[in-house]
């Protein structure tokens, strides 16, 4: 199963440069890296990145993250994937721009 992380361009560039990341400021504050499923990602973008440009959507295979990935309740009790360790660049299967359209962010049609 693929899970997704939305990065600001500067955060993505840091991951590319350093080879790993402990996440965005909110991730550092919470003590884990926030991910979303394909179904959760649009709401995550709308809530936390409304109107933001220069975003990158990164896909990661949930199973490859091992025991450091935990599914924990968040919005309305829905289970969200949280990574309790840094994310390595080589764990990202693909990364694509997440453009802002007239009605919000435009996610890839092949997201699963």
CATH number 3.20.170.20 given to 2-103: yes
pLDDT of the residue at 46: 96
Query: What's the pLDDT band for 63 if we cut at 50, 70, 90?
Result: very high
pLDDT of the residue at 76: 82
Is pLDDT at 55 greater than 90 in this prediction? yes
**Direct distance between the N- and C-terminal alpha carbons of the chain, in angstroms, rounded to an integer:** 8
Neighbours of 69 (CB within 10 A): 19
pTM for the structure as a whole: 0.95
- 11 near 21, Cβ under 8 Å? yes
Is pLDDT at 112 greater than 90 in this prediction? no
Q: What single-letter DSSP state applies at residue 31?
A: T
Is pLDDT at 32 greater than 80 in this prediction? yes
What distance in Å separates the CA atoms of residue 13 and residue 92, rounded to the nearest whole number?
13
Neighbours of 87 (CB within 10 A): 21
């Amino acid at each position: 199963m693929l899970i997704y992380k939305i990065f600001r361009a500067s955060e993505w560039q840091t991951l590319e440069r350093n080879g790993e990341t402990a996440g965005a400021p909110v991730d550092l504050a919470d003590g884990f890296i926030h991910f979303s499923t394909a179904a959760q990602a649009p709401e995550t973008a709308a809530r936390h990145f409304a109107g933001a440009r220069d975003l990158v959507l990164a896909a990661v295979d949930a199973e490859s993250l091992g025991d450091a990935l935990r599914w924990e309740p968040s919005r309305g009790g829905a289970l969200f994937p949280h990574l309790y360790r840094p994310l390595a660049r080589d764990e990202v299967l693909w990364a694509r721009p997440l453009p802002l359209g007239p009605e919000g962010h435009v996610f890839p049609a092949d997201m699963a």
